[in-house]
Amino acid sequence: MSQLKIWQFRIFYLLLFLLPANLAKHFPLPSSYVSGILVDYLIPTVYLTDILIIALFVLWLIDKYKSHQQLTIWSSRQLLKSPLTIFLLLLLPSVIFSTSLIPAAYKWLRFLEFTLLATWIKHNLDLKTHLATITRWLSASVTFQSLLALSQWLKQSSLFGYWFLGEQPYTSATPAIDKVTWFSGALKTPPLATLPHPNILAGFLVASLPLILYQLLKTRQSKLILLYLTSILLATLTLFLTFSLSAWLALLLITLPAIILLTQTSSSLLSSRHQQLSLVKNLPRFDHWQKILSTHENPQTGIKLHDRGLKSPSVKLALIYLFSLIIILLLATKLSFLAPESSFTRRSQLANISKDMFKYRPLTGVGLNNFTSVMEQYGYITATTRFLQPVHNIYLLVLAETGLLGLLGFLYLTIFTIIKAIKNQRFNLLIPFISLLFIGLFDHYPLTIHQTSLFFFILLALLN
């Protein structure tokens, strides 16, 4: 392996560790303001991870040039077949006919950047070889972010400030900072780690946990078991303290049931193989077969072939759903963050605005990344201050901003990825991908925030 190739892998693993980093240089432009208010979603920004992605791609090009290898990815047939290419092409009309061109072009270039990273992943990473290393670096990042978040919770403020990987400076007295009512009745500030919002931290953790859980069940090395267990325990505690209902639901209703089914299926396959070997060994014995057919157990080991007790997947799933429902109902009586009426009202108003945008421009939408630019032309959000945020649903957001063309491209991209993942049996990677799609029903950050959208495209690339 060449030195350039080695450095590419080093940069990629560093990118995984720094994925939650919010350190960036912002370039506010006139188009970044809405009626005199600076809107974060409209500011062109260069993140630390952007520099790593660009460096990675440049090294890849140099490596290909030095080794006199052709970049086969540029063949027209491959490009046209790629779901990512189709997605980008179907977004172009929403850029060309956008209300505000600069935010739309900036967002499209961001998706192009992530597509180039996904292309590198697809052509350089073999999951059988690299998945364990990917999980170790991701686990290290989760551990680091969780420790920082727990320290922020104890201090009820940031620790080091913005130059520490973009940690948002805040205290409990910071205006507009999120607050929750703790069990004692005291107001508490959920932790952010180095991410812009507690919900985004929760999304990063809940999407990382399935990979770490899967590797924990798979590994036999004591050091890795300790690392994974530490990551899972710290991440679970931090996830609770973020008070992100959508992330909680993703964990309880998607991650845990899926992991149980995966482990149950794998153990059942191992058990069935032992039973098949036993049957073949005793093939001539009629009494052996008769006992199996009548008692449903292996006469040599006494192990039941079909265990219908508490270990069955259906019973485990039922217990998980019941447990999650009880927990949510109990917390709903104690914590005010779980469905305040004002939040439902704002989300409903945003949904209505997105529908009106779609009605106005059903084919191309109002423009990629243009929701906050034009939202006040379509409705008013009830709030104590001016509320300029995208609709809290990625599917409505894609429909409003990019119309039917963009939604078609996004659905094709996601559905193609899911089908291919199922075909290739990459369920350990499919779980976090599905979790982000599920969270997208209740929030916009899987596609609008840099860190989570980058994670989304990394998962997408690993699944293809």
- How confident is the model over 430-445, as pLDDT tens digits? 999 999 999 999 999 9
Tell me how far apart the alpha carbons of residues 253 and 164 are, in angstroms, rounded to a whole number: 34
Tell me how far apart the alpha carbons of residues 265 and 260 are, in angstroms, rounded to a whole number: 8
- Give the tokens for residue 436: 């982000």
Pairing state of beta strands 45-47 and 24-26? Answer: antiparallel
**Does 368 score more than 60 pLDDT?**
yes
- Report pLDDT digits (tens) over 179-213: 888 877 788 999 999 999 999 999 999 999 999 98
- Give the tokens for residue 192: 């952010």
Mean pLDDT lowest among 256-260, 280-284, 456-460: 280-284
- Report pLDDT digits (tens) over 49-74: 999 999 999 999 888 877 766 555 55
Tell me how far apart the alpha carbons of residues 445 and 204 are, in angstroms, rounded to a whole number: 10
**Closest C-alpha to 234, from 317, 147, 332:** 147
pLDDT band at 320 (very low <50, low <70, confident <90, very high): low
**Does 242 score more than 80 pLDDT?**
yes
- Per-residue pLDDT, 146: 97
Q: How far apart are the first and last CA of the chain?
A: 24
296 vs 361, higher pLDDT = 361
325 vs 364, higher pLDDT = 364
Tell me how far apart the alpha carbons of residues 436 and 206 are, in angstroms, rounded to a whole number: 9
Helix (H) or strand (E) holding 47: strand 45-47
| Rounded mean pLDDT, 323-332 | 55
- Give the tokens for residue 430: 């499919």
CA 399 to chain centre: 20
| Rounded mean pLDDT, 334-350 | 66
| Rounded mean pLDDT, 110-133 | 92
- Per-residue pLDDT, 341: 52
**Would you tell me the crossing angle of helices 256-281 and 313-332 to the nearest 10 degrees?**
170
For residue 10, give the amino acid letter. R
pLDDT band at 318 (very low <50, low <70, confident <90, very high): low
Tell me how far apart the alpha carbons of residues 19 and 10 are, in angstroms, rounded to a whole number: 14
Q: Which residues pair with 25 in a beta bridge?
A: 46
pLDDT band at 220 (very low <50, low <70, confident <90, very high): confident
Q: How buried is 176 (Cβ within 10 angstroms: 0-12 exposed, 13-18 middle, 19+ buried)?
A: exposed
- Report pLDDT digits (tens) over 408-424: 999 999 999 999 999 98
**Does 290 score more than 50 pLDDT?**
no
Report helix, strand or coil for 392.
coil
pLDDT band at 41 (very low <50, low <70, confident <90, very high): very high
Tell me how far apart the alpha carbons of residues 57 and 115 are, in angstroms, rounded to a whole number: 11
| Rounded mean pLDDT, 213-220 | 86
Tell me how far apart the alpha carbons of residues 120 and 123 are, in angstroms, rounded to a whole number: 5
Q: Which residues contact 163 (CB under 8 A, 6 or more apart)?
A: 23
Tell me how far apart the alpha carbons of residues 333 and 323 are, in angstroms, rounded to a whole number: 16
**Would you tell me the crossing angle of helices 198-218 and 427-439 to the nearest 10 degrees?**
160
pLDDT band at 447 (very low <50, low <70, confident <90, very high): very high
- Report pLDDT digits (tens) over 18-38: 999 999 999 999 999 998 899
Tell me how far apart the alpha carbons of residues 217 and 57 are, in angstroms, rounded to a whole number: 34
Tell me how far apart the alpha carbons of residues 209 and 191 are, in angstroms, rounded to a whole number: 18
Q: How buried is 115 (Cβ within 10 angstroms: 0-12 exposed, 13-18 middle, 19+ buried)?
A: middle
> How much is the mean pLDDT over the chain?
84
Tell me how far apart the alpha carbons of residues 447 and 366 are, in angstroms, rounded to a whole number: 17
Domain boundaries, the chain: 1-124+344-464, 267-322
Residues of the chain above pLDDT 70, percent: 80
| CB environment 14-39: b (16+ within 10 A), e (fewer) | bbbbbbbbbebeeeeeebbebeeeeb
For residue 61, give the amino acid letter. L
pLDDT band at 296 (very low <50, low <70, confident <90, very high): very low
333 vs 61, higher pLDDT = 61
- Give the tokens for residue 426: 């990459």
pLDDT band at 305 (very low <50, low <70, confident <90, very high): very low
Q: What is the DSSP letter of 189?
A: P
Tell me how far apart the alpha carbons of residues 251 and 4 are, in angstroms, rounded to a whole number: 39
- Per-residue pLDDT, 43: 95
| Rounded mean pLDDT, 344-366 | 91
289 vs 380, higher pLDDT = 380
Q: Which residues contact 88 (CB under 8 A, 6 or more apart)?
A: 108, 111, 112, 115, 409
Mean pLDDT lowest among 169-183, 211-225, 355-369: 169-183
CA 426 to chain centre: 16
- Per-residue pLDDT, 66: 79
Tell me how far apart the alpha carbons of residues 348 and 428 are, in angstroms, rounded to a whole number: 34
- Per-residue pLDDT, 434: 93
Tell me how far apart the alpha carbons of residues 250 and 309 are, in angstroms, rounded to a whole number: 26
Report helix, strand or coil for 45.
strand
**Does 309 score more than 50 pLDDT?**
no
How many angstroms separate the Cα of 452 from the Cα of each of 177, 205, 236, 310, 339?
21, 10, 18, 37, 24
Q: CB neighbours (10 Å) of residue 296?
A: 12
- Per-residue pLDDT, 247: 92
Tell me how far apart the alpha carbons of residues 284 and 296 are, in angstroms, rounded to a whole number: 19
**Does 141 score more than 90 pLDDT?**
yes
Q: Do 397 and 353 touch, CB atoms closer than 8 A?
A: no
**Does 103 score more than 90 pLDDT?**
yes
